[in-house]
Amino acid sequence: MSGHRVRWAGARDLLIYVSIGVGLALTVILFAIHQAKSGGTPDLPLKWMGFGVESLVVFGYVIRRFRAQWHETRYWFLLFIFAASHLLVGCAVLLRIEAVPVLYFGLILAPEFLMISALLERLLRSKS
């Protein structure tokens, strides 16, 4: 019976990784189509790419760290709230500035991961 659970966990993990890869590939393809249709500049939008990679790394590590809570609806709800907040604030900032050095993304990555992890731990511990 436990062998069946291990195989299912491996299959589930593979499905998650494949979904992430397909999502990334679709994003790149849709961006390329948009650029071709709109006659956009061939320059890469590095500030947006940096923000996307930073977001994936931060939330990827958060999801990995809280693997034991994957079955809890409250965990996924809180993670969604944090991700939506991250995206809203990040987009608001990036829309107002012309360029962002890639180093800045690296500098905010660890503090953001630690802050989200600490908040999740506290909020998940204080079940109401």
> DSSP labels for 87-99?
HHHHHHHHHH-S-
User: Which ranges constitute the DSSP H helices of the chain?
Assistant: 2-38, 46-65, 73-96, 102-125
Distance, in Å, from the CA atom of 103 to the CA atom of 50, rounded to the nearest integer, reads: 9
Note the pLDDT of residue 45.
76
Q: Are 75 and 69 in contact (CB under 8 A)?
A: yes
Average pLDDT, the chain: 84
Residue 1 has pLDDT above 60, yes or no: no
Note the pLDDT of residue 3.
59
Q: Which of 110, 94, 17 is nearest to 58 (CA)?
A: 110
Regarding predicted confidence, which is higher, 105 or 28?
A: 105
Number of residues written out for the chain: 128
Note the pLDDT of residue 25.
74
Note the pLDDT of residue 21.
75
Coil vs helix vs strand at 60 = helix
pLDDT band at 47 (very low <50, low <70, confident <90, very high): confident
Note the pLDDT of residue 96.
92
Note the pLDDT of residue 43.
62
Task: Compute the average pLDDT of residues 54-58.
Answer: 92
Distance, in Å, from the CA atom of 69 to the CA atom of 79, rounded to the nearest integer, reads: 11
Task: Compute the average pLDDT of residues 83-108.
Answer: 90
Distance, in Å, from the CA atom of 60 to the CA atom of 76, rounded to the nearest integer, reads: 13
Note the pLDDT of residue 116.
96
Task: Give whichever of 4-13, 30-39, 90-99 has the largest mean pLDDT.
Answer: 90-99
Regarding predicted confidence, which is higher, 27 or 39?
A: 27
